[in-house]
Amino acid sequence: MTNSRKASGAFSVTRAVIVAVIVLSAVVSFSQQAYAEWRWSATFEKTEANNTLLIARSWDDFHKGWLNYQKNGFRLHDFEVQSNSGKYSGVFKRGKGKELSRIRVSLETIMKDWKDWSKKGYRMQDFETWTENKKRYFGAIYLKGDGAHTLWVTSEWNKFHTEWAKFEKSGLRMHDFETWMDGGKQWYAGVFRAGQYPTGSNMGGTWKQFKKARDNFRKNGYRLIDLEILGSPEGQKYYGLFGKTGPDQRLRVVNSQTELLKARKDFKKTGYKIDDIEVTWFFGPPKLAAHSTLADTTCNFGDLDCNICASNVEAQFAQGMDQSWVKGSWDFDGDHRYKPSGMQPKNSFQAIGKHIQGFVRTNSDIYPYAGSHSHRDKGFMFFIHDEKWNRTSGNAKNHLYSMHKSKVAHPSGVAVLGDGLFVAELQNGKDYLRWFGINAAGDNQDHRHEIPGMRSAGGGLGLAKLSDGSSLLIVSHPGAGFRKGITKSQREDNNGQRHTRFYKLTPDAFRPSPDGVQLLGEQKHKMESKPDKPYAYSENLSVVTECGSGSIYTIHTTGDYGLEGKGYWRLSKLEGGLTNPHLVFKSMKEKNQHAEYCHHRSSATVHVNKRGKLEFLCSERAVIKKRKSGRFNFRRSIVR
């Protein structure tokens, strides 16, 4: 169904809009072997106002950000939800007066609110619908306003179109249009406000038809009022509302979240601010099974779902290991009950024989470090708060901020991807990948997904965002080993098979779909009774993406079995694509280890900082103190 309409003799197009189409989630399977991916469209308007954009991985994160924007005088004007992914996005503009909203409710509730709140002087600003766990939800935003208005919802296009024409004649203009499939029917909703400007539309056509209409409208001074896209395996349908009103706008198509944020930054310099967004599934022909393993290299430091890349990884690895390391530390109060678990360090840190399992630098300036620790009963994950934000070593005020109970006594080491801290927990025979939102470090969190075959990731785990938006999870298991081989038990430990497994998680590691966990392959490592170097052994694992090439590197770390001795860092490169992934050894570096300030066997990891430089980190093994306060030491090296 393609329908073009004009009003007041106008044949118009967009506001000169920037539509940013962003692929955020990756490839998923459909019955006809088509593929689908998320695409976002965003329009930007010429304005002096300070419009801004919030992208969040969950409703809780979005709601917190929303409340912060409200406190600073911003009002939500447009929001989008990615069905079945839990990701929320919104455009905020400065404004006065109260806003009302209703999110994640039924259509009946929306219709009732519209009647009730209209009587109180509110006008619907935005109407949205999406699905979560196969259930359809609706949401709406209301702002203070006056004048005639209406909301029209129906599953009959001809009826919708007829009423639309009547509304136009009565002086109403549609400023928001939504369409969705439910129960085998296509539904239509229009939000109308009073207006006298000329309008036009192009409804239900292909991208080519929409683009042609947009170009024609644009020549006649019209801008895009609203863009709606309905995705299906049969193809995308584009619905555009145009009007000869409002400020100038621009339109652009991009391929990643980072490109959207870059476009927003670039256009802000010329006075164009984000105005409207649209999120939809894009369906296309089958993708080849052998996607490139090339990682996403467009990530900006601080993006929610990826880590920044590093240039010339092999050279940086050599330089960082060879230069001098600097001291760092963080403090804790042994008697304090840390949120959200109420755990006390005087109990949790005093388990004899237990120690830090992983210690990492995060992508946050507020919570710059995090880690995991084993315990005789319940292990835990922890976050470190930097009180001065910009001082994260030496005499900086790094303090323990929160402690989160593990589901098991011995959690794995930890890994960072974007705003997520990931850990493996083998619970009741099931393998779980658990993650915490770093910027919500003090909140109760229990995000986890079963990853069959991952086990406890005793040799470490690491993640990277792939170029198609999905996540690559690399897991080594088991840990331990690398003993002197003097006794029978040591030789048996050394000879136990170690392997590295490669998983693709779709749409991504934060919310893999039930059929989105794909084991790509397993690499078995060569074992020795009396190993001279730990070519097959590890306790922690870091994953680094290389800028330009998009190559993926791993750094496995361990140390001599003891409180002192040598620590080992093994650099490998991922080869073989996604059809035959395997690690190719590149180099190994040694450093002295000491249990009281840098115990490589317990916790040694690599991070890529804001400048794209490798940052090497290792921590004190354990602190067993009965006095009220304590301190953990660490060492780090940052490539200059």
pLDDT tens for 311-363 read: 999 999 999 888 889 999 999 998 999 999 999 998 888 766 688 999 999 99
Shared domain for 431 and 567, answered yes or no, is yes
Shared domain for 346 and 274, answered yes or no, is no
Compute the mean pLDDT over every residue in the chain, rounded to the nearest whole number: 85
Q: Confirm whether 320 is domain-assigned.
A: yes
Number of separate domains in the chain: 2
Structure tokens at 382: 């922890």
Q: Confirm whether 420 is domain-assigned.
A: yes
Q: Which residues of 566-579 are buried (b: 16+ CB within 10 A; e: fewer)?
A: bbbbbbbbbebbbe
pLDDT tens for 595-628 read: 888 999 999 999 999 999 999 999 999 886 555 5
Residues of the chain with pLDDT > 90, as a percent, come to: 59
Distance from the Cα of residue 392 to its chain's centroid: 24
Q: Which residue has the tokens 């008697």?
A: 335
Shared domain for 442 and 587, answered yes or no, is yes
pLDDT in the model for residue 233: 61
pLDDT in the model for residue 625: 55
Of the residues 235, 265, 284, which one is the last residue of a structural domain?
Answer: 284
Shared domain for 267 and 336, answered yes or no, is no
Q: Confirm whether 291 is domain-assigned.
A: no
Shared domain for 558 and 464, answered yes or no, is yes
**DSSP H helical segments within 52-180, as ranges?**
59-71, 107-118, 157-169
Shared domain for 209 and 80, answered yes or no, is yes
Count other C-beta atoms under 10 Å from residue 163's C-beta: 16
CA distance 219 to 16: 10
- Domain of 461, CATH number, reads 2.115.10
Q: Give me the amino acid identity at 358.
A: G
Closest CA to 313 of 39, 552, 24: 552
How much is the pTM?
Answer: 0.66
Mapped to the 3 state alphabet, what secondary structure does 472-519 carry?
Answer: EEEEEECCCCCCCCCCHHHHHHHHCCCEEEEEEECCCCCCCCCCCEEE
**DSSP H helical segments within 170-304, as ranges?**
207-219, 257-269
pLDDT in the model for residue 624: 66
pLDDT in the model for residue 183: 84
pLDDT tens for 510-557 read: 988 878 899 999 999 999 999 989 999 999 999 999 998 999 999 999
CA distance 146 to 138: 24
Q: Confirm whether 304 is domain-assigned.
A: no
pLDDT in the model for residue 207: 84
**DSSP H helical segments within 365-457, as ranges?**
none
74-82 and 87-94 beta bridge pairing? antiparallel
Q: Which residues contact 492 (CB under 8 A, 6 or more apart)?
A: none
Q: Which residues of 510-541 are buried (b: 16+ CB within 10 A; e: fewer)?
A: bbbbeebbeebeebebeebeebeebbbbbbbb
Does the bond joining 534 to the residue before it have cis omega, within 30 degrees of 0? no
pLDDT tens for 475-488 read: 999 999 898 888 99
Shared domain for 263 and 361, answered yes or no, is no
CA distance 331 to 338: 13
Q: Confirm whether 308 is domain-assigned.
A: no
Structure tokens at 244: 């000869």
**30 pLDDT more than 80:** no
For residue 194, the SS3 value is strand
Mapped to the 3 state alphabet, what secondary structure does 531-583 carry?
Answer: CCCCCCCCCEEEEEEECCCCCEEEEEEEECCCCEEEEEEEEEEEECCCCCCEE
CA distance 177 to 126: 9
Q: Confirm whether 580 is domain-assigned.
A: yes
CA distance 298 to 319: 25
Shared domain for 359 and 263, answered yes or no, is no
Of the residues 242, 263, 284, which one is the last residue of a structural domain?
Answer: 284
pLDDT tens for 273-322 read: 999 888 776 655 444 333 444 798 888 888 888 999 999 999 999 998 88
Distance from the Cα of residue 184 to its chain's centroid: 32
Q: Confirm whether 293 is domain-assigned.
A: no
Shared domain for 12 and 85, answered yes or no, is yes
Lowest mean per-residue pLDDT among 38-47, 256-265, 326-335, 573-582? 256-265
φ and ψ at 490, to 5 degrees?
-65, -40
Shared domain for 254 and 327, answered yes or no, is no
Q: Provide the domain limits for residue 259.
A: 3-284
Shared domain for 161 and 107, answered yes or no, is yes
Is residue 501 within 8 Å of 454, Cβ to Cβ?
yes
Lowest mean per-residue pLDDT among 56-70, 148-162, 211-225, 622-636? 622-636
Planar angle of CA 560, 565, 569, nearest 5 degrees: 60
Shared domain for 461 and 598, answered yes or no, is yes
Q: Confirm whether 539 is domain-assigned.
A: yes
CA distance 471 to 509: 5
